[in-house]
Amino acid sequence: MGDWADSVNSESAGVIGRRLVATLADSALWHLVDRGPRSDAECRLLASMAAQLYDETAALLAADIYKGAASPASHAVGVLRDIGDACALASGQWPLVERDWADIPSRAVIELAIRLYEIDNWAASFGLDVCLTSDPDSVPEEAFGRLGPPPELTRADFAAQLGVVVEGYDRVRSLLNDSSTSTLVRKSEFRSAVRADISSGRGWVVWGRGHLESDVFPAAALPLYVAQGVFVAITTDADARDLFPSEGFVSDLLSADPVRQLLEESNVKLPAWASN
């Protein structure tokens, strides 16, 4: 997966900070994210950047979740994956009417998170200068307009969505592991569906913040993690067995007692590998 250590130490934290600084300073990248339409070559470049950011941060993200960590370094990892989402979503030719629905993270929203979590101050402790270009005294309008599932959805609806996501991930990995079908999931139609899943996954995280208890909330990110993992698989030559989230990670996330209880109450059946 990337050159990450299994936990945050000064060396890996410095790597995260340098990666964040370099990505924010890449004006050509942000020009592509913020404008459209884009050429096929530009879309491929954005998709490659998204896959790279997802892959580089996967191991550290998993380690932080296992530890329940919430440090500036882990928040920086989250910001890098937000930038990955921006690149992945912008790598598609969204019709203008659907761009708001896609909820492509803007530079201003990403910088808001950097300031809120004081990631810029954390980076400065490593001698790094995070380039922030937005007005520090204003909150971008799109920060209030995050689209997500309808608020009337219930916990049972969420549990059902987890079942759908796990079943779909199971099928995709099976297709990827079979040389006769692996090319099917790399077709443009499937890539469009995965981008939509990334957008939807971001929405479930937003919904979860307002509707789930703290001990269930980590599972709200699973649809997003799965969509990001599938995006890596269809954009690169990564082996399906090396993808994040792994079988073990999914199983651990869903086997937490509060999550397991929710799934049982909602009569959601999972594959054997995801319910151990």
Q: What are the tens digits of pLDDT across the range 231-256?
A: 998 898 877 778 899 999 999 999 99
Query: Per residue in 48-64, is it b (16+ CB within 10 Å) or e — as a string?
Result: ebbbbbbbbbbbbbbbb
**What is the model's pLDDT at position 204?**
92
Q: Residue 44 has which token pair?
A: 């491929």
Question: Could you report the per-residue pLDDT of 147-188, keeping only the tens digit for each?
Answer: 566 667 899 999 999 999 999 998 888 888 888 888 877 777
- Omega before 37 cis (within 30°)? yes
- The 3-state DSSP composition of the chain as helix, strand, coil percent (nearest 5) reads 70, 0, 30
Separation CA 160–CA 269 (nearest Å) = 9
DSSP code, position 104: P
Q: Residue 255 has which token pair?
A: 């086997």
DSSP code, position 106: P
Residue 51: φ, ψ to 5°: -60, -40
Mean pLDDT in residue range 18-27: 94
Contact 166/254 with Cβ under 8 angstroms?
Answer: yes
**What is the model's pLDDT at position 93?**
72
Distances in Å between the Cα of 230 and the Cα atoms of 51, 170, 195 are 10, 11, 10
Q: Residue 116 has which token pair?
A: 């809120």
Separation CA 113–CA 96 (nearest Å) = 26
